[in-house]
Amino acid sequence: MLARPLQDLRISLTDRCNFRCVYCMPEEFFNKDYEFLSRGALLNFEEITRIARIFVAHGVRKIRLTGGEPLLRKHIENLIEMLAQLKTPDGRGLDLALTTNGSLLAKKARSLKDAGLQRVTVSLDSLDDDTFRRMNGVDFPVAQVLRGLEVAHATGFGPIKLNMVVKRGMNDQEIVPMARHFKGTPFILRFIEYMDVGASNDWKMDEVVPSSEVVRRIAAHMPLEAIEPNHAGETAERWRYTDGGGEIGVISSVTQSFCRDCTRARLSTEGVLYTCLFAASGHDLRALLRGGNTDQEIAAATSHLWRTRTDRYSELRSASTPGTASAARKIEMSYIGG
């Protein structure tokens, strides 16, 4: 029992994605023969909103929509409109955010903003077009994602966060160029350690670039100083340029566990609740929704699950021999979002 409050609910809208990123949905595993969930298996928008309303009534203040690629979910704007109407017990609106690969952002930014979406985080693993195409696995050009960033910023989203997953030998040469490119811009760049989520990405510890190394590399060219987190439980460690050129973040998901501060739960696209990103199994809320249970009964069940959670995978991994803890079966990141 780690006495961690539940404040952040991440909701996966689809298990499908139009990218095949090497660290998340590699083509050799998620190929043309892979069976994705049927439409009937997915939670509908009314079910998602009902679960969200129950969680908000019990402490959740932030909802992040994820995937797969959430912008592939048809009529996503309708769901955003529904979620944007929810209020916390003290009458405040939610912090409503979305994570995307950016491929459809130029097309969708205005309708997302008009529907009530407040913040956007975009995955961007390289500015070099060849590296970006190789990492996304479908030969998608980086220029289209950069165009999406421009449109989203012009639409009024901000600050927009950019997530770069760093994999040694594949894109770590891009650390300093990425930092230099986005220094002094409205965008906040965050570097994420390559994680051992799921079993499809063939994770190896020697491919992880520790956040401490990322900071050292950048600081050698552009001096940095540590700054305080925005709030308790924030996953990113914040650093700012000493010349006032903005800030970066590093997410040390492998080398520095933050299990004891974790305030996040994840809901899969077909309604399974996971209390840890590295979980092997979850809890079926769809069965409760479609089984005639009341909101009070669902709230009681989820409250019990959260109060009794003992997840601390990252701490156990850090304390074990490299490779030992991560050998256990875990849910795929593409299934519940990052």
Residue 3, in any domain of the structure = no
What range does the domain containing 278 cover?
8-336
Residue 137 lies in a domain: yes
Cα–Cα distance for residue pair 174/170, rounded to 1 Å: 9
Taking the alpha carbons at both ends of the chain, their separation in whole angstroms is 24
Is 201 among the domain residues? Answer: yes
285: CATH: 3.20.20.70
Look at residue 12 and tell me if it is in a domain: yes
Number of structural domains (the chain) is 1
Residue 2 lies in a domain: no
Would you write out the chain's pLDDT as a tens digit for each of its 338 residues? 445 677 899 999 999 999 999 888 989 889 999 999 999 999 999 999 999 999 999 889 999 999 999 999 999 999 999 999 999 999 999 999 999 999 999 999 999 999 999 999 999 999 999 999 999 999 999 999 999 999 999 999 989 999 999 999 999 999 999 999 999 999 999 999 998 765 555 678 889 999 999 999 999 999 999 998 877 666 889 999 999 999 999 998 788 765 556 678 899 999 999 887 666 678 999 999 999 999 999 999 988 887 776 555 444 444 444 444 444 555 666 656 65
CA distance 333 to 139: 21
* Cβ-count burial 154-168 (b if 16+ within 10 Å, e if not): ebebeebbbbbbbbb
- Phi–psi pair at 293, nearest 5 degrees: -75, 150
Strand, coil or helix: 38: coil
Write the secondary structure of 136-153 as one string of H (helix), E (strand) and C (coil): HCCCCCHHHHHHHHHHHH
Contacts of 50 (CB under 8 A, 6+ apart): 289, 295
Residue 1 included in any domain: no
135 within domain boundaries: yes
pLDDT at 129: 98
